[in-house]
């Protein structure tokens, strides 16, 4: 399934050839569709999205006092062929029949998800209004000049303060559902128009600066992702330096790339992947974060280019692949084994353990265990947690594990010695 998702471009890789791109009708009118707000809000991987932008406007306009539901407000924008300012003016004129606004629970097809006023497939075009001009000339300028903008970034009403440098920008429905990806380079980049949120992204004209604002968030139904502990591990600064060094390089139409070392051209998700890998984080294995909680990527995570061969940059890389838990006997008292569990991973996780000793093969295969005996504990990266496992008649093994991206990583042991605290530790992936 994961390979299938990748071949479909993972919503971001643009796995189509140049002929296919040329044959797309870039002037087509993309149909509007109703969105299921509750479904959009339930995506716990997202730290910020266009739904939050709608919410800020909805609260600012006090639309609940006008008996306009939030769902109708969101869907109305996509059903009227108006700019957002024109849409707000229409609301203020009280001329909208809100009973006619679709609030269907179907989000519609991916080809229907883009605002019609932004339907020129601009995400791969050098003419996209959020892509800056002459990026190579402005990369060393502290303030972006007016001549670099195709339009002025819009930030009125919306609170973008939760965004951070290094956050990943995903347009999940652009380019007939193939999608697009960028990385936030500076949330407070100076310009003649004031500070703006600057992005770096690979588009048809090459690796360029762009910007994120209210209009782009809404027109492309943008979702923002964050790589867990990236700032703490120093990966954000490394990623920013990496994309800075790529400014001006060409766009890649070769989506079979298997080497991210020393490339002169990039496609969008490949650039983001390589940026974080340059900082030692492989986003194939790094969890995403929201409000301090950890959510692991899976088959539906949209921005993991798994065909890229992962390599080290500058001789360093954190081992972000899953590591087995490490265990040792801490104490034995009153028929209870106190086992210290160490989490060697770069991410926090929940572990499961059998609170009673079990048989060897059951421990190895994490099978035939009594659900009532399975306990859960949370361990931060690099920390330990002590679990209590009681003796259980003729059973002589212990089993501790965690579940990660479709697999369970089991650390199990037998031959526990209550005198010298030795034990025979083995591991298994299920």
Estimate to the nearest angstrom the gap between the alpha carbon of 153 and the chain centroid. Answer: 24
CATH code for the structural domain at 326-429: 2.60.40
For residue 174, the SS3 value is helix
Token pair for residue 344? 């060697």
Q: Give the fold, CATH level 3, of 2-28+114-295.
A: endopeptidase fold (from Nostoc punctiforme) (3.90.1720)
Does 255 or 42 have the greater pLDDT score? 255
Q: Can you tell me the distance from the alpha carbon of 316 to that of 278, in angstroms, rounded to the nearest whole number?
A: 8
Structure confidence at residue 228 (pLDDT): 74
Report which DSSP code applies to 392: B
Token pair for residue 387? 């679990």
Structure confidence at residue 347 (pLDDT): 72
DSSP H/E element including 23: helix 18-23
Instruction: Indicate the domain borders of the chain.
Output: 2-28+114-295, 326-429
pLDDT above 50 (res 289): no
pLDDT 10s digits, 194-235: 999 999 999 888 999 999 999 999 998 898 988 877 887 788
Structure confidence at residue 277 (pLDDT): 84
Structure confidence at residue 67 (pLDDT): 82
Structure confidence at residue 7 (pLDDT): 27
Does 174 or 240 have the greater pLDDT score? 240
pLDDT 10s digits, 80-138: 878 888 888 888 887 777 777 755 433 333 333 444 433 333 334 445 899 999 888 89
Q: What are phi and psi of 390, to 5 degrees?
A: -90, 150
Structure confidence at residue 161 (pLDDT): 94
Is residue 415 left, alpha or beta, with left meaning phi > 0 and alpha meaning psi from -120 to 50? left
Estimate to the nearest angstrom the gap between the alpha carbon of 407 and the chain centroid. Answer: 20
pLDDT above 90 (res 68): no
Q: How confident is the model at residue 35 (pLDDT cuts 50, 70, 90)?
A: low
Q: Give the residue-averaged pLDDT of 68-82.
A: 85
């Amino acid at each position: 399934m994961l390979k299938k998702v990748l071949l479909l471009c993972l919503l971001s890789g643009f796995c189509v050839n140049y002929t296919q791109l040329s044959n797309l009708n870039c002037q087509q009118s993309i149909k509007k569709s109703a969105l299921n707000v509750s479904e959009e809000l339930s995506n716990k991987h997202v730290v910020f999205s266009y739904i939050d932008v709608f919410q800020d406007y909805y609260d600012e306009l006090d639309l609940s006092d006008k008996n306009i539901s939030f769902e109708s407000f969101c869907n109305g924008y996509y059903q009227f062929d108006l700019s957002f300012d024109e849409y707000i003016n229409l609301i203020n004129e009280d001329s909208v029949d809100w009973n006619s606004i679709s609030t269907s629970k179907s989000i519609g097809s991916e080809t229907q998800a883009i605002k019609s006023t932004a339907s020129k497939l601009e995400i791969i075009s050098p003419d996209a209004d959020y892509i800056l001009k002459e990026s190579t000339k402005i990369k060393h300028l502290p303030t972006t000049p007016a001549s670099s903008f195709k339009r002025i970034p819009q930030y009125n009403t919306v609170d973008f303060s939760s965004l951070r440098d290094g956050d990943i920008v995903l347009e999940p429905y652009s380019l007939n559902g193939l999608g697009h990806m960028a990385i936030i380079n500076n949330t407070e980049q100076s310009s003649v128009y004031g500070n703006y949120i600057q992005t770096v992204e690979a588009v048809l004209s090459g690796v360029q600066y762009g910007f994120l604002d209210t209009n782009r968030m809404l027109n492309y139904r943008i979702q923002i992702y964050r790589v867990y502990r990236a700032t703490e591990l120093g990966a954000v600064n490394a990623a920013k330096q990496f994309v800075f060094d790529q400014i001006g390089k060409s766009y890649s139409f070769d989506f079979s790339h298997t080497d991210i070392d020393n490339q002169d051209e990039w496609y969008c998700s490949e650039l983001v992947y390589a940026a974080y890998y340059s900082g030692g984080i492989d986003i194939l294995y790094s969890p995403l974060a929201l409000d301090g909680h950890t959510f692991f990527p899976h088959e539906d995570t949209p921005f993991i280019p798994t065909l890229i061969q992962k390599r080290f940059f500058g001789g360093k890389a954190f081992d972000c692949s899953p590591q087995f838990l490490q265990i040792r006997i801490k104490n034995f008292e009153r028929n209870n084994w106190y086992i210290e569990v160490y989490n060697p991973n770069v991410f926090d996780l929940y572990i499961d353990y059998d609170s009673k000793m079990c048989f060897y093969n059951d421990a190895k295969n994490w099978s035939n265990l009594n659900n009532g005996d399975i306990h859960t504990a949370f361990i931060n990266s690099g920390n330990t947690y002590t679990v209590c496992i009681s003796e259980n008649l003729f059973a002589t093994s212990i089993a501790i594990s965690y579940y990660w991206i479709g697999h369970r990583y089991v650390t199990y042991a037998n031959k526990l010695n209550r005198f010298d605290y030795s034990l025979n530790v083995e591991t298994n992936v299920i």
